[in-house]
Amino acid sequence: MSYIIKGNTGDWEVVIGLEVHAQVISNSKLFSGADTTFGAEPNSQVSFVDAGFPGMLPVINAKCVEQAVRTGLGLKAKINNRSVFARKNYFYADLPQGYQISQYELPIVGEGTLILDMPDGSTRAVGIERLHLEQDAGKSMHDQHPNKSLIDLNRSGVALMEIVSKPDMRTPEEAGAYLRKLRAILRYLGSCDGNMEEGSMRCDVNVSVRHPGEEFRTRCEIKNVNSVRFVMQAIEHEAARHVEVYESGGDIRQETRLFDPSRGETRSMRSKEQAHDYRYFPDPDLLPLEFDDAYVEAIRATLPELPDEKKERFISEYGITAYDATVLVMDQENSAFFETVAKGRDGKTAVAWVTTNLFGSLNKRGLSVSDSPVSATQLGQLIDLVADNTLSTRLAKDVFEIMMDEGKDPSVIVEERGMKQVTDTSAIEAACDQVIAANAEKADEVRNGKEKLVAWFVGQVMKATQGKANPAMLQEILKKKLLG
């Protein structure tokens, strides 16, 4: 899939790199024992460390280290047994220490890879540059007072993983696929809940354009884009802006920009224009972060099966397509549901039921798999009823809709409503005879070569049997009776 902007000076290609800030799942903050829960009263989850009080010192949270290593392993990345915390110095009202404790030269996780699953079933590898641990800042609120901003430090000091991709993406769709895949991996690992709306996963987008084959040109960074859709829109707009500037003889300045979702465009953040000089240096309040291989291996041993492996296994074990496998593995619950349904059954049938019927029906009802009225076991039972000819596929669909409404087992519904399909030859023959007798003219037409009308007869007999006639038997009997 290529994404080329046609310009007057030729084709332009987009170069995209993403920096994702993922909030680490932990009870307490990276360097203090205060709570990380979202949405508490202002400053109620703040230790004096988080508020940058005089003489306060950071002590690292073991869970955050473990989560970073876990995530690094999930990204097939190099884990650095020795990393260093550095201070990133700048002044801002929501940054109480006057610096952010981050990692600069030696991050905890080095290079890795993330596989994109594109909608056409193809895959593409995107390089991970690094992952490091750092503190989140507090929150500034500007609407409460005409000439003051208010600062709440509850979020100050919460652990973030900054995950930086290489500039390997070339289309907005790839950026979208990257974010969805990263989110899936983080959720599998339990290291971040991936909730972009609540801000526990935030994305900075680096965009530049170039004529294919050229060196990279100047990039702009679009800060804090908070949904996959907006990321894709922001890239489209920003790339188009670059092309326009270049083609009208201008030059792109390296700068920080903001995406305005209501206008669908990016604009320069003038307040951030003053040259930054973060003066990184190793934090003298902390020693280098060190652990041995055994520590890493112990974490590796607890990793769940991750989306890529699960996808491969689904394809080989259940014979489903890459596309279906991708859809399923992006969410752990979806894939677990599928596996329960598919276990001991035909994989292709199971995937059709899960992705088409179940997901379609859940979507209509605005439900997720975890709220599904039909359990995986029940859906499996339904498939079994088709396999043993109790239900035709068509009847099964009706039963399924009733299950969605009532939540009962399929056998109960079939029993209560007498929905069992008719496989008794004589009963089907009798029904066929009746319909043929009532439509003698049409039967003659069939016999005179208008074979297409057989389908019409099938429909009529089906209607007469309230849809319960076994479709294959019905087909066969009708043909025999009409065509001899």
Partner 1 sequence: MTTLTDLTLAQARDGLRNKDFTARELTESYIAAMDKHRDLNAYITETPELALAQAAESDARLAKGDAGAMEGLPIGMKDLFCTEGVLTTAGSHILDGFKPPYESTVSARLKQAGAVLLGKTNLDEFAMGSSNETSYYGASKNPWKATGDDRDLVPGGSSGGSAAAVAARIAIAATGTDTGGSIRQPAAYCGITGIKPTYGRCSRWGIIAYASSLDQAGPMTRDVRDAAIMLGAMSGYDPKDSTSANLPVPDFEAALTGNIKGLRIGLPKEYRPEGLSPEIAALWDRGAQWLKDAGAEVVEISLPHTKYALATYYVIAPAECSSNLARYDGVRFGLRVEGSSLDEMYMKTRAAGFGTEVQRRIMMGTYVLSAGYYDAYYLKAQKVRALIAQDFRQAFEQVDVILAPTAPTPAFGMGENMADPITMYLNDVFTVPTSLAGLPGLSVPAGLSATGLPLGLQLIGKPFDEETVLRVGGVIEDAAGFTAKPTLA
Partner 2 sequence: MLDKQTVRNIAFLARIDVKEDDLEPLANQLSGIIGWVEQLGEVNTDGVAPMTSVTNQVLRWRADELTDGGRADQVVLNAPDKLDGCFAVPKMVE
The residues binding partner 1 (CB under 8 A) are: 48, 51-60, 87, 89, 91-93, 96-99, 149, 151, 277, 279-281, 284-287
* Distance in Å, CB of 218 to partner 1, minimum: 18
Q: What is the dihedral of CA 141, 142, 147, 149, to 10 degrees?
A: 20
Contact predicate 24/190, CB 8 Å: no
The span of 62-70, 107-115, 349-357, 367-375 binding partner 2 (CB under 8 A) equals: 62-70
Give which of 363, 339, 310 is closest to 117, Cα–Cα.
310
Give which of 477, 391, 394, 398 is closest to 457, Cα–Cα.
477
* Distance in Å, CB of 40 to partner 2, minimum: 9
Q: What's the chain's Rg over C-alpha atoms?
A: 30
Q: Which of partner 2, partner 1, none does residue 42 bind to, with CB < 5 to 8 Å depending on kind?
A: partner 2
Decide if residue 263 touches partner 2 (CB under 8 A).
no
Give which of 30, 26, 71, 79 is closest to 285, Cα–Cα.
30
Decide if residue 41 touches partner 2 (CB under 8 A).
yes
Q: Quick one: which of 64, 158, 192, 239 contacts partner 2 (CB under 8 A)?
A: 64
In eight-state DSSP terms, residue 466 is T
SS3 2: coil
Q: Which of partner 2, partner 1, none does residue 97 bind to, with CB < 5 to 8 Å depending on kind?
A: partner 1
Q: Which of partner 1, partner 2, none does residue 56 bind to, with CB < 5 to 8 Å depending on kind?
A: partner 1
Instruction: Give the integer Cα–Cα distance in Å for 17 and 19.
Output: 7
Decide if residue 430 touches partner 2 (CB under 8 A).
no
Pick between residue 52 and residue 471 the one whose CB is nearest to partner 2: 52
Q: Interface mask (CB under 8 A) for partner 2, residues 98-137, using x and -?
A: ----------------------------------------
Instruction: Give the integer Cα–Cα distance in Å for 10 and 423.
Output: 67
Instruction: Give the integer Cα–Cα distance in Å for 432 and 450.
Output: 18
Helix (H) or strand (E) holding 85: strand 85-89
* Distance in Å, CB of 413 to partner 2, minimum: 48
Decide if residue 60 touches partner 2 (CB under 8 A).
yes
Instruction: Give the integer Cα–Cα distance in Å for 29 and 138.
Output: 12
* Distance in Å, CB of 29 to partner 1, minimum: 14
**Interface residues toward partner 2, by CB under 8 A:** 26-28, 32-35, 41-49, 51, 59-65, 84, 91, 93, 140-142, 144-153, 258, 269, 271, 274, 277, 279, 282, 286-290
